[in-house]
Amino acid sequence: MTDDTAPINDPPPTAPGVATHEMTGQEDLAADDEEAPLPRGPGRLLRLCTGVDESVLAGVPSERPRYTAMGGVVFGTAAMAMVSMTYALICVFDGFRLFTVGVVLVWGLFILSLDRWMMAGGPIRGGYGAWRKVLPRLALSVALGMIVAEPLLLGVFHTAIQERVDRDRATEITDRESRLRDCNPTPGTPAAAEPEVTGPACEGFRLVVDGSPEPVQQELTATIENEKTMRSQFDADAKTHASLQEKARLECNGTPGDGLTGKYGEGVNCKRLRKEADDFYAAHHMAETNQRLTELTDKINKLNQDLATAQRTYDANRNDAINRELDKIRARHKGVGLLERFAALHDLVGEDSYVHATQWGLRIFLIVVDMLPVLLKAFTGETPYDRLVAEQIHRREDLEKQRTETRLAQQRNVESFRRHRSALQGQAWRRTLSQELRVRLGNVDADRQEMLAARERFLLRAALGPAIAPDDPEDTQELIIEPAPGGDR
């Protein structure tokens, strides 16, 4: 007899002839054979870099040396990438920083994981499919090889690059200083008026220097011009005055000549000529002019001293301004950046053919080293390990397919069982309701019969009256009809 009250969620009974692990799908995939203990040591760590499965490799122990060597290649490329990144970060940040350890480790793990992924892929067989697998991996390896190779090249040519950078920096400072001095001559000098200084060639090289001697130079130039003009006039007047004095002297001495009397003594002509000389001297203010020339000469001497002092002050201020500009360049030259090293290496390559050949030889070597994991995978072809892995994958796929089919059949059986049990529980519930309905209808009929009997006695008593015995217990009781539960009155 079926139990209609069994819970819906109870698991169905195990099907006859079906094992429990087949019903649940929890069987152990490794139950086919006993696994031998896996080897330990550095060789296993190197093989781990190739993504090899040691449990599968245990079936072909002769392949272990091959995969150990391949793991060493993968580890070597990752180590080379870490060294390259370390040197690049030291160049970028001008020295070692603590956070570079984390960056280098992450970069090394990335390269190791990438090479491991390329090594762990399926075997590369011949034909068009081989090129489809090899070319993308080779392109990726070349790109990574170039990234890894460049910092290592900088490390190889470190000494030559450092010397080149120092020489270029010294040349830059010398050229800058020379250009600043040429474009900032002393104001007021002829060099300051040259077209090269005032033209666009000196744009960006002009400095603002305090203490310019130009006002003193301008005043000195004006004073010298004034002194020259005044002295020229004074010299002409002095020459005329000297000629008049000489003529008066000759007349007074009685020297014969043109316009002279030839008589000795201070006669009328002697006095007249002397008076003409004195009148010319007074009329042309030669005494005042001579005094003014003396003052101008003293002023020129003082202005020359002031100009020399102003020029020394200006030169000192200009030197300070130039040094400040050069200090900015020296501050930028404190560390040798990565781009500056690349530029120096480019200059060295362009100047020396030997360096050019050496650079390309090292670059190609480093790129090929970084490509070795892919090349080894391509050249190795299909190995016994690859065949075992393919066979195991195929077996696991079949087993997983069978297990999935078993689970689906089990789920269908469970659903069928649940539907059948639900149908049985529905039938039991309907029978229970039908029985309760019959009981309630029976109660209603009994109440109705009792009500009719009571009504009949009441009518008989009303009709017969005293004919009914007084000691009849039914005659003395009050007629009370209680409705049945769920029924009508």
- DSSP symbols for 123-159: P--SSHHHHHHHHHHHHHHHHHHHHHHHHHHHHHTHH
What's the chain's Rg over C-alpha atoms? 62
Compute φ and ψ for 266, nearest 5 degrees.
-85, 80
Specify whether the backbone of 262 is left (phi greater than 0), alpha (psi in -120 to 50) or beta: left
Side-chain half-sphere CA neighbours of 425 within 13 A: 10
pLDDT value at residue 105: 92
CA separation for the pair 213, 226 (Å, rounded)? 20
Residues 118-175: pLDDT tens digits? 777 666 655 455 566 667 777 777 787 787 888 888 888 888 888 888 888 888 889 9
| Nearest-5° Cα angle at 183, 181 to 184 | 65
Cβ-based neighbours of 272, under 8 Å, separated by 6 or more: none
pLDDT value at residue 346: 84
Q: Which residues of the chain have a pLDDT value below 70?
A: 1-39, 121-134, 465-489
pLDDT value at residue 481: 44
pLDDT value at residue 256: 80
277, 245 Cβ separation under 8 angstroms:
yes
5, 425 Cβ separation under 8 angstroms:
yes
Q: Is the pTM of this model over 0.95?
A: no
Supply the DSSP symbol for 191.
Answer: G
349, 342 Cβ separation under 8 angstroms:
no
Specify whether the backbone of 85 is left (phi greater than 0), alpha (psi in -120 to 50) or beta: alpha
Q: How many CB atoms lie within 10 A of CB 335?
A: 11
Q: Which residues of 439-451 are buried (b: 16+ CB within 10 A; e: fewer)?
A: eeeeeeeebeeeb
244, 276 Cβ separation under 8 angstroms:
yes
Side-chain half-sphere CA neighbours of 67 within 13 A: 27
CA separation for the pair 388, 432 (Å, rounded)? 65
